[in-house]
Amino acid sequence: MVARLLTTLVGIGCSVLLSSLYAGQLSLGGKPHYYDTFDPVLSPWQAPQERNIEEVFKRHEYFAIVYSDDGKQLAVTRHRKGQQDSVSQWQRLDDGSLQAIQQDPATVSSHVDAPALYIEHCASCHGAARLGGAGPALLPTNLGRLRPDAAAEVIRKGRPATQMPPYGKLLDDANIAVLVDYIYTPPATDIGWDETDISNSQRVLHEPDSLPDNPVHKADPLNIFLVVEAGDHHVTVLDGDALEPLHRFPTRYALHGGIKYSPDGRFAYLASRDGWISKFDLYSLLTVAEVRAGINTRNVAIAGDGKTLLVGNYLPNTLVLLDAQDLTPLKVIPVRDTDGNSSRVSAVYQAAPRGSYVAALKDVPEVWEIRYDSSQFPVRKIRLQQVLDDFFFDQDYRFLVGADRVQHSGQVVDLDHGKPVADLSLSGMPHLGSGITWTREGRTVFATPNLKDSRVTVIDMDNWKVIKEIDTLGPGFFMRSHEQTPYAWTDVFFGPNRDAMHVIDKRSLEIVKTLRPEPGQTSAHVEFTRDGRYALVSLWEMQGALVVYDAATLAEVKRIPMRKPSGKYNVYNKINRSAGTSH
């Protein structure tokens, strides 16, 4: 009698609940049917073996399904641990498969268990704590470059050429909205990633003694480019003489553009926003080792002697030292200022002439210098007047130029004496990390694009005074040149003129030509071949290309199709710290 009463009460409760949930959306009659499982991906879909309420009521998970009179529509409620956890509606198609019926997100979000939905569909690849695994970490700090509406589209349609499948037939828009809201919500507890976690993530894919002594290709190893293709998370190895691709390989999700090379140019080190550091051999064209040094990483730097790497993290607030040979973690340095305040790391830099690394800190007014010529990696903390971000260095690495993004100013710090020595008049948001230098009229000048204002600022590095502000067609992101060219190139990355590329005469400081590689498409990030003969421009689009120009005549030479090519890095220019490129 108790069992019959339970069946009656639960059946009535489910019927009333389901009819109220779907009122005005899907009018279904009949009583609920109970099942152990529900797999809407099956095609054609067939209901599993039906159970009695007494059989499923005490189970960890079960499903209650109400069918329409013609059997072509289903209302499904999933129960977990005795409580309703999600609801969905489905339409049976002519081929027998099921398709989700869209629901009002506001209605669904009030009763769907978002963590359970995430665990069911996402955790196997992205980790139960959203820290990543086969897929990237799904935390607000890691998703800063992906808008929520774009994230919903990725869930719905998947990502081509990755392991991310489409969920549009499995989840309706309302449940996708619940997932998006969940992954953009900060976790309730602090997340750590310590030396044990780093060590456990390390993978040596090819032992050093198994690698060839000579390249497996015939290209000049020092005139190779690595081109980051952000469109589908690949890198292309480009022969800088033939201007043809040699190889293309998949990378971790969302690489940071700043690829670093070993001093001899043989190995490349790649950092993803999810903290993965990968070592790639330019002789064998193989990824030889990987390690996860953080959860949200800014970038990586390599020591001038090639023995160690330094990784700067947003999450957790740490600096991580790695052995450059196999990426073994050597030391984790918590980032706290002299008063004990924790800070994110904006970026890390190699200062080879000083035998040290330099770290820019996002949240405290200090800059750190970490010596790599000592096994203890001592930290020197230089106190500043304000927080400085986005550093530029002179060629000798004595002077550091930093931007104050709040006060819209700049400051010059003498690293030898550990103190500020000059203030700079820098309005807007200068992108100092893309600054370049050259010699003009016997004096060294420094030029920087601006992320906010339509100008390039040129500064005399002897007296730190502004020589000229060059008006541009819009804010720019990157600026590049080469010792063998009279021109500096700067893009117009933002705004309606994002297809423009300005060419500036380094002597007159005038724009001599404005190129538009493809009207209406973003052109950005120039890099030169080893000899400075050719300039390579990115068409920063999904169906993009590298556009090759003759650096002397400014005539187009050829186009190399690529998937949203972003940064491209010439080995020789990088390892020789060319004044015309970032270091």
Q: In sequence order, what DSSP letters do the residues of 498-549 get, joined into one string?
A: TT-EEEEETTT--EEEEE-SSTTS-EEEEEE-TTS-EEEEEE-STTEEEEEE
Domain with CATH 1.10.760.10 in the chain: 2-183
pLDDT given at position 572: 98
Sequence-distant contacts of 274-279: CB under 8 A, at least 24 apart: 274/132, 274/136, 274/137, 274/142, 275/132, 275/137, 275/193, 275/311, 275/313, 276/252, 277/309, 277/311, 277/322, 277/327, 278/251, 278/252, 279/324, 279/327
> Which pTM value belongs to this model?
0.75
- How do residues 484-531 score in pLDDT, each as one tens digit? 999 999 999 989 999 999 999 999 999 999 999 999 999 999 999 999
What strand order describes the sheet that includes 203-204? 203-204, 286-292, 276-281, 267-271, 260-261
As a whole number of angstroms, the distance between CA 269 and CA 309 comes to: 9
As a whole number of angstroms, the distance between CA 35 and CA 50 comes to: 5
As a whole number of angstroms, the distance between CA 349 and CA 173 comes to: 44
Taking residue 552's Cβ as centre, other Cβ atoms within 10 Å add up to: 14
Between 111 and 332, where is the model more confident? 332
What strand order describes the sheet that includes 73-80? 50-51, 33-35, 61-67, 73-80, 83-92, 98-100
Assess whether pLDDT exceeds 80 at residue 442: yes
Assess whether pLDDT exceeds 50 at residue 15: no
Select from 3.10.20.740, 1.10.760.10, 1.10.599.10, 1.25.40.10 the CATH code of 2-183.
1.10.760.10
Phi, psi values for residue 92, rounded to 5°: -85, 120
What strand order describes the sheet that includes 511-515? 479-480, 487-491, 501-505, 511-515
Tell me which amino acid residue 360 is.
Answer: A
Which residues, in sequence order, are CB contacts of 502 under 8 Å at separation 6+? 456, 472, 473, 476, 489, 490, 491, 492, 511, 513, 514
pLDDT given at position 35: 87
The C-alpha angle 428, 433, 439, rounded to 5 degrees, equals 95
As a whole number of angstroms, the distance between CA 94 and CA 168 comes to: 18
Q: Which one, of 327, 329, 389, 321, lies nearest residue 356 by Cα?
A: 321
As a whole number of angstroms, the distance between CA 200 and CA 327 comes to: 12
* pLDDT over 70 percentage in the chain: 89
In angstroms, the first-to-last Cα distance of the chain is 79
Assess whether pLDDT exceeds 90 at residue 25: no
Phi, psi values for residue 319, rounded to 5°: -110, 135
* pLDDT over 90 percentage in the chain: 60
As a whole number of angstroms, the distance between CA 287 and CA 540 comes to: 25
As a whole number of angstroms, the distance between CA 178 and CA 531 comes to: 53
Instruction: State the burial class of residue 175 (Cβ atoms within 10 Å of its Cβ: 0-12, 13-18, 19+).
Output: buried
Instruction: State the burial class of residue 423 (Cβ atoms within 10 Å of its Cβ: 0-12, 13-18, 19+).
Output: middle
pLDDT given at position 139: 85
pLDDT given at position 212: 98
- How do residues 112-152 score in pLDDT, each as one tens digit? 788 888 888 898 788 878 887 667 788 887 787 688 899 99
Tokens at 74, concatenated: 């289903």
Q: Taking residues 19-32, report their average pLDDT.
A: 46
- Check: CB of residue 565 under 8 Å from CB of residue 536: no
Tell me which amino acid residue 552 is.
Answer: A
Instruction: Using DSSP, state whether 476 is helix, strand or coil.
Output: coil
Assess whether pLDDT exceeds 90 at residue 533: yes
Tell me which amino acid residue 170 is.
Answer: L
Phi, psi values for residue 166, rounded to 5°: -80, 140
Strand ranges, E, within 372-454: 379-383, 389-393, 399-404, 409-414, 419-424, 436-440, 443-448
**How many CA atoms are closer than 13 Å to the CA of 463, on its beta-carbon side?**
3
As a whole number of angstroms, the distance between CA 359 and CA 413 comes to: 13
Relative to beta strand 286-292, strand 356-361 is unpaired
pLDDT given at position 76: 85
Phi, psi values for residue 145, rounded to 5°: -90, 0
- How do residues 377-414 score in pLDDT, each as one tens digit? 999 999 998 898 789 999 999 999 998 876 677 899 99
| Secondary structure element (H or E) that encloses residue 107, with its range | helix 105-109
As a whole number of angstroms, the distance between CA 412 and CA 424 comes to: 7
Q: 104: pLDDT confidence band, cut at 50, 70 and 90? A: low
**Within the chain, how many helices (H) and strands (E) appear?**
9, 39
- Which residue's structure tokens are 């108790």? 2
Assess whether pLDDT exceeds 90 at residue 453: yes
Which residues, in sequence order, are CB contacts of 526 under 8 Å at separation 6+? 478, 480, 489, 491, 501, 535, 536, 537
As a whole number of angstroms, the distance between CA 243 and CA 64 comes to: 61
Query: Among 39-53, 241-255, 439-453, whose mean pLDDT is lowest?
Result: 39-53
Select from 3.40.718.10, 3.30.1490.20, 2.60.40.1230, 2.130.10.10 the CATH code of 431-583.
2.130.10.10
Q: Which one, of 394, 390, 342, 393, lies nearest residue 364 by Cα?
A: 342
pLDDT given at position 436: 97
Domain with CATH 2.130.10.10 in the chain: 431-583
